[in-house]
Structure 1
Amino acid sequence: MQQQQRLFLELSYNGTNYHGWQIQPNAVTVQEVLDKALSTLFRAKVETVGCGRTDTGVHASQFFAHFDLEAEDLLDQRFPQYLNSLNALLPFDIAVKRLFRVASNAHARFDATQRSYEYHIHHQKNPFKHNFSWLMKDDLDTDAMNLAASLLFQYTDFSCFSKSHTQVFTNNCKITRAEWVVTNDGLIFHVSADRFLRNMVRAIVGTLVEIGRGKAAVESIHQIIESKDRSNAGTSVPACGLYLTKIEYPYL
């Protein structure tokens, strides 16, 4: 009888051509393309479990997934070969960086202790940033945006930033970083937490941008969060500027 083994994959992807990570009917997703490539490589049906889900058009510079494989001849010295073969099977916009063994109970989603995102904004038209950053020509008060972002640390219930009708047990998250950094041609918002709700980062950015435009006061963050009402927060910003950048595990 063949022994079942659990493997982790570290990958990155350009989300422009995909309807997010998670498999769904009548739409091409990163998970679907990856599962097909893995099934071809190992000549067996492979179904991955991702560290989370990303929406249509969102990118990931670091993403993890696990899968189980029944194989007697799965040798560590062949892993570089497997990696090369897998990348050859995948399209240009998905790249697998690592393939490695983990314990049989390791879980890409539930074992993650922290996740980090970046949201990119640029101020002048740039063809090389199209689909990779949000073109925002308005002048923004970054000091006000950072002051408002710092108020997020006072809360754990972020229902106001969550997409409606999501199937989760709690809307509580512990944010450990929320900071705008000025770049040569724009801004990057860095945010880290133990978990995120669907659409949460894009809703937070949309709310902070309204404050940066002067259309809302810094202190309005308190009322928005305490209302637990999505309609009180800002509009979700475009997906193209959002990147999942880091996933942390206690054993990696």
Structure 2
Amino acid sequence: MTRYFIYLSYKGTNYHGWQVQNNAVSVQELVNNALSILLKHEVKTVGAGRTDTGVHAKNYVAHFDSEIDNLDNNSRFLHSMNRILPHDIVIHRIRKVKPDANARFDATLRGYEYVISRSKDPFLLGLSWQYDAKLNIENMQLAAQQLFNYSDFTSFSKVGSDNKTNNCEIYKADWQVNGNILMFNIEANRFLRNMVRAIVGTLIDVGRGKITPEEFAQIIEQRDRKLAGTSAPAEGLFFTKVEYPEKVFF
């Protein structure tokens, strides 16, 4: 068997996240089906991580195994995959990797961005949180920097999650302003379920003056999801990157 990484993007509006669901359509289900049709054997992909219902991905990675060993950069196969898949899922590349490479467990960094449109914009509908309240961006930036001081993010974890640990190492967290677009970028070694949306929702509370940057830090310290803000809507969130060590590649 040959193992491959498959690189893809998707608009998550029509899907119940990446992960296969019993009674709902997911991105993983459609990718598995397309691969199985073309390869003529059952394929089950393993993704770099979950994405919630409605969340998008610009650069997502999964792995799968096949008895066929000539899929590496096979343009005809890529073309066939993209013809089978719906318009809101696109495959960019298929790359041969080491037999024990794992898209989930070998990832050393994952990145997300959250997009807020500060004005009503029909062209960003479904691809941003359209939120026009006045915000103190400086305080939001100060609060975001507090994330570097902690590793336990239970306060931003979905209640009832079966995580073995709620510890994450944050590598990047900042806000960028471009006209009417406000974007939050965050990178870490791993993320908890609903973590980014909970962080953004709580940072918005800082921007609105409901809590201070210091109180944002205290919320992290309390390790209690009920103290954090409401999760930001899914449509503004994009999975943007995932990185792997060179040892997984040939």
* Shared fold per TM-score greater than 0.5: yes
Gaps of 5+ in 2: none
Question: What residue number does 2:52 align with?
Answer: 55
1:69 maps to 2:63: no
TM-score normalised over the length of structure 2: 0.97
Question: What residue number does 2:12 align with?
Answer: 15
CA-to-partner distance for each residue in 1:95-154, whole Å, 9 max, x for gaps?
A: 000001100000000000000100000111111100000011101111000000001100
| Cα separation, partners in 2 of 1:45 and 1:164, compared to 1, 3 Å | same
The residue type equivalent to 1:163 in the other structure is K
Residue correspondence of structure 1 range 172-251 to structure 2 within 5 A: 172-251=167-246
- C-alpha root-mean-square deviation of aligned residues, in Å? 1.1
Question: What residue number does 1:123 align with?
Answer: 118
**Partner Cα distance (2:71, 2:211) in 1:** 56
**Partner Cα distance (1:124, 1:154) in 2:** 33
- Conserved in 1, the CA contact under 8 Å of 2:60 and 2:242? yes
Residue correspondence of structure 1 range 127-142 to structure 2 within 5 A: 127-142=122-137
Identity, % of aligned pairs? Answer: 53
**Partner Cα distance (1:75, 1:196) in 2:** 34
1:164 maps to 2:155: no
SS in 1 for 2:112: strand
What is the CA distance between 1:165 and its match in structure 2?
Answer: 1.0
CA-to-partner distance for each residue in 1:67-86, whole Å, 9 max, x for gaps?
A: 01123xx3257711111111
SS in 2 for 1:98: strand
| Cα separation, partners in 2 of 1:141 and 1:78, compared to 1, 3 Å | closer
SS in 2 for 1:214: coil
- Conserved in 1, the CA contact under 8 Å of 2:72 and 2:96? no
**Partner Cα distance (1:91, 1:77) in 2:** 22
The residue type equivalent to 1:195 in the other structure is R
**Partner Cα distance (1:19, 1:110) in 2:** 23
Aligned residues: 247
What is the CA distance between 1:186 and its match in structure 2?
Answer: 2.1
1:24 maps to 2:39: no
TM-score normalised over the length of structure 1: 0.96
SS in 2 for 1:219: helix
**4+ residue segments displaced more than 3 Å:** none
Gaps of 5+ in 1: none
- Conserved in 1, the CA contact under 8 Å of 2:73 and 2:93? no
